[in-house]
Structure 1
Amino acid sequence: MSDRPDPATAASDRATLRADCASCFGLCCVVPAFAASADFAIDKPAGTPCVNLRTDFRCGIHERLRTDGFAGCTVYDCFGAGQKVSQVTFGGRDWRQDRATAAQMFAVFPVMRNLHELLRYLGEALDLEQARPIRADLERTYADVDALTHRPPEALLEIDVDAIRAGANTLLLRASELARAATGHRGPDRRGADLIGATLAGADLRGAVLRGAYLIGANLRGADLRGADLIGADLRGADLRGATLAGALFVTQAQLDAATGDASTGVPAHLTRPAHWASTTRR
């Protein structure tokens, strides 16, 4: 018998791709390393608990992360990998119980996060009406990747994540092409482009390809990004005030959280307008 989940079941289970911190052992506060910078107030080596992590695995300054110098924490998204590793892969055994569990759990977490991020994008592609011609392939790939996330720790560590990504990316690119073609606007192809600090205010970027583009600090005020492919685009500090992202492809909550926007920014229906945008004033 195949261990592949039924595609319909896998597709309906996408709510698990949202972080549930209450069911996680604070893995994002332990596994990654970060250096003192504008995003983090302190240095923290990989595999070392953050000084703000409490014994109950909650953040002691969660409500003050931005004001206390930990803005980087507010834009991190594990795509639900934290609770999957904590409660499913390791069956509720936390890393504080023994060193062997800790080492293995910390190694598994980034693998699971990569797989969950991929499921997040595949799930969005499945929701695209324009991608119907490749729906069967998307469902099959989603189910295959989902099956990988249920493997035991040892098997998860053997997964070639880059190879899995490469295979799925072919489908994601095709889904993007189909969706962008349906808009009737073929925007510029700036995948991976260095657009740091670029002035793109009011730009017509409908149907543009901005996959992996560096838009750090870019001025996108009033830009039209409907149908634009933003998978992996770095929007840290980007000014999205008045911009239209409703209908943009593969936008994540973390991308919005990392940018600046306001009440006039058009946000994709499946995402939430960041709370810190409310304090943004227009100039």
Structure 2
Amino acid sequence: MTQRPSWAPDEVDIERPAPARMYDYYLGGSHNFAADRELAEQAMAVWPDSPHIARANRAFLRRAVAFAVEQGVSQFLDLGAGIPTVGNTHEVAARLAPQARTVYVDNDLVAVAHSRSLLDGVANTMVVHADLRDADFVLEQARGLLDFSQPVAVLTFAVLHFVPDEDDPAAVVDAYRRATVPGSLLALTHATDDFQPERLRDMENVYRSASAGLTGRSHAQITALLPGYELVPPGLVCMIHWRPDPDAGPDPLDGDVSRYSAYAAVAVRK
């Protein structure tokens, strides 16, 4: 049995890997357990670019949040927010709009515990322990901080591919759409099997041992999650191609979209 770290909540099963903690490991974080590291290493054996993909996902987060603020949206509902790292949603937003409000949601107790520790005393932030599929509960809690009569940016970075088809991800997305007013935004990144389907299947097999399985989807399938939204140009594209930062350095994966195999988009609620 793995020894439980002092920072790990008693309720956490440290023997079962969790995507949030595996993602933390990809990013070089320290809030993960041996089981998370072992499965993450298996994933990286299948897809060695995983750490680069995780960093590209964080870079897209920064661009998407900045875009939202530019559009006058300064309320953020970050679903599947994960374990706190530098450049969190509230930090990016507050640099551009000091009164921005952010609600973080995650079902991983380690992510929730560290988010609450990090945000203790930080104004205009809230952390909710919940599964994003329980939209009624999430929205009830979020209304303690967010004003849903005004536009809200709903963020779903690298999380909808952990909602299996049987749980109807389109209905999950629509529940949050219906709770927001026109002019609200949805930002997402999502793994795809459009480019390397066999390798993506291997990744899905690895994640079967985690607390949530991975489901890669095609461009058409991801687009089908977004009725009632209008895609912001350039649309649903590889994450590195969504309004890239002109000052960013050379792409570590040589701009090869097949090595990322992840789409990104920002959409406006009609």
Question: TM-score, normalized by length of structure 2?
Answer: 0.29
Say which structure, 1 or 2, has more relative contact order (CA 8 Å, 6+ apart): 2
